[in-house]
Amino acid sequence: MPGPGEPTGLRADDPSGRRAGEPTGLRALRRRRIHDALSAAAITLFLERGFDDVSVAEIAAAAEVSKPTLFAYFPTKEDLVLHRILDHRGEAARVVRARAPGVAPLTAVAAHLLAGLDRREPVSGLNDHPEVLAFHALVFETPSLLGRVAQYAGQDEHDLADALSEAAPQAGDLAARLAAAQIIAVQRVLARENWARLRAGEDVATRHPTAVTATRRAFDALRRALPDYA
C-alpha cells in the first residue's frame, strides 16, 4: 500500500517511479498513472482558484508528493496543463505527410479538421463538456499558458512548412512557410470561434453544421490563395 507522499504507488525517495525488479511495462504504466494523477490534481486547483493563484508547492501538497517528485514529471507549472494537448503538436505536418497519393495537402488537412468536428474533438473547439470548456477558458485567459501555446504554434508552423516543402518543392521554402502560417492561423481561429460560441450557450448540434461550413469556406479561400498546395 502506498504510504504518505506515495500516490498510486510512487516511492517518495524515488521520483522516477522505479521499483527494484519491476518489469519495464509495469514501470511505464505506473509512471503514466502518476503523471495523469498529478496533472488532474493541478488542473482541479487551477480551475477552482486560477492558474496564477496556485503555487507548485500547493499542487505537490495536494498530490502528497514532494516538489522534486512533481518536477520529475512536469518540468514547469505550465506543463501540468498543456501536456493534455501535446498529442496534437505537429499534427498538420503529420497529416500532410500521411495523405494518400494524389491528395493535395490542403485537402488532407481540411478533411482531418472536418473529421475532428464530427468526432467532437476538444481541440476542434466543438465540445461542450463542462470540463473541456473550463480547460479552454483556463488556457485562453492565462497569459503564461497562451504564451506557451504560441510557442507550440510556432513549432507547428515550422513542421508544417517542412512537410509542404516536401509536398511541393517547386513552390520554394518561403512559399511553404507563408502557407504554413496561414493554415495554422485558420485552424486556431476556427477552433477558438467554436469554443466561444459554445461558451456563450450555443448547442453543439446547432453549431456543428455552421462549424463545418466555416471550415469548408476557410479552406476554399486557402486553396485560392495557395494553389501550389491545392
- Rounded CA separation 43/38 (Å): 9
Q: Which domains does the chain have, with CATH numbers?
A: 7-76 (1.10.10.60), 83-229 (1.10.357)
User: Residue 25: its pLDDT value, please?
Assistant: 82
Which residues of the chain have a pLDDT value below 70? 1-23
User: Residue 21: its pLDDT value, please?
Assistant: 54
- pLDDT digit string (tens) for 137-171? 999 999 999 999 999 999 999 999 999 999 999 99
**Taking the model in full, what pTM does it have?**
0.82
- pLDDT digit string (tens) for 30-41? 888 888 889 999
Q: DSSP per residue over 133-202, as a string? A: HHHHHHHHT-HHHHHHHHHHHHHHHHHHHHHHHHH-GGG-HHHHHHHHHHHHHHHHHHHHHHHHHHHTT-
